[in-house]
Structure 1
């Protein structure tokens, strides 16, 4: 990819499989892409603050990248390549000798026994690209996917309301990232429509990537439990005209909690977002790799929700869910769609402590030198 050739450096995100598998078993595979997506949202924002362009590359030969990074097979795997500072490299990339295969000594993260779930690696291998030809075919399939025109059934919405984003005095990005965490208790106080609009507006920007430059593969639905000047109900965020479409009115706030595995935290939230996609269509066109891209992009969207929320002193927390119940609840509008991830937002019922900077600070020149 020319973006990698013309960039001073490339960040590669990987996942250590067992770290979520001990709790979520085979379903933890999607957490690879959720967590990486949230981290990527922070990384993109940080790169932008340095005026460094980046691109997300999910189409690569898995085995080659994993071996170049000396990742231990069936332990850790690459998820995305992110060249940073596209166009700023002053030198042609040099031909380097292929590194010898070795696994470096790693300090154990936990004293407990690592959990191995064979199904995770079956899923991963089924969505891997094994040759340059497969990568090229993946790229062509993405182009076909981007050209598909969506149809909208206007009969399933009862009313539409334009979002109303407002300028705010932003906190520094580093402060927002350090403050960002997962809220453990919401106060059931309302958020304003302007705050919700600012969050939704932050999701309208396309992701510079090999899978979503022209349009997103993810649709955004939400339940509004307590937002000033917004009727309680189920909504679809229409990014074509930056409006929210009311699908169901007077939804009880217990519904959002039930859909998120009956957790009261998500009944207490002011708004709960559900990122959804027509996964069957995606896989038909993109193959199994499309599953990774959908989960990864939904993670990026979740990360942007977190950043925009905490910038406005609103809390946020992600959740798993009852898959079929979410699809059924938002139907008929969400017919044939699957939920990827959910995020609740609201006013925290406590004052959280910000995190600490563990690594050294780098200037723009440091990053490019």
Structure 2
């Protein structure tokens, strides 16, 4: 009887020890799996629409405060808990992206520009960026990309038809000539009615460099004609005195703010090449009369003085082919000699090539261009 009780007692102790050992083993396995789940690292690269590394992108584990920022080349590393974590990528001016980690250890993300977000911010006086809805005056923007489509050599002519209330009068002196820009009509009868031009916060002199008169001359353009449209990121037109108050009396006719392109942090040197070829020809829509010649009050010129005085008017006699003295004192047939435009004007050709180099790092950005 004593042997049976001892055997039963020994059997119970052995069974209890077996259960206890199995329990300890299960706890050790669960703890090990949790430690392995907590020590996971995910890395990758964030690029923009041009597949260039995008620096300064915020990478956050959704629902936590764990996050990091991409380096100058767009690379990142972050620790996550478990396989059900989600990474959220955000950057100013770009659409946010969310990616489930799962079993991945490398996650590369491509962010696209957020055009809606960018259009809400405009450049105002002194180059300050503000939300468009917070302004109390009218501001119109022209994106630089639209200036290189059906482009003009002169920047002033490129504004024609793109901004409401802006009237542009292009000169007939060629692609390098000056242009006249007026915002909301003339404000004075004899003064300068053109707006103030400000490039990256610095006002420029837009005085006309030479002009062509009755007896010749050269229009060498103005300050606006020296600006390369390929190097412009955005143009903001400030209308009214309230918008231009910070620039003083020079801005009484409005302000046109020009923001040029800037270099961006990237790997290597970016190269941008633009080429533009324009052909121009005169458009003659006049229906010239071919019955009456030069003169006055229905009479032909009878002297060189009369030919000079009435050489630009066709109020003379009916053309009959008779010999009549001309402005140079030589007599010629009094008859129609044809349309002089085809013989005087040739087809114009303008070729413009632009080379730009841009880049940068965490310390500085740069952009150079050559026309």
User: TM-score, with normalisation over the residues of structure 2?
Assistant: 0.20
More helix by share: 1
Name which structure has the greater RCO, CA cutoff 8 Å, separation 6+. 1
More strand by share: 2
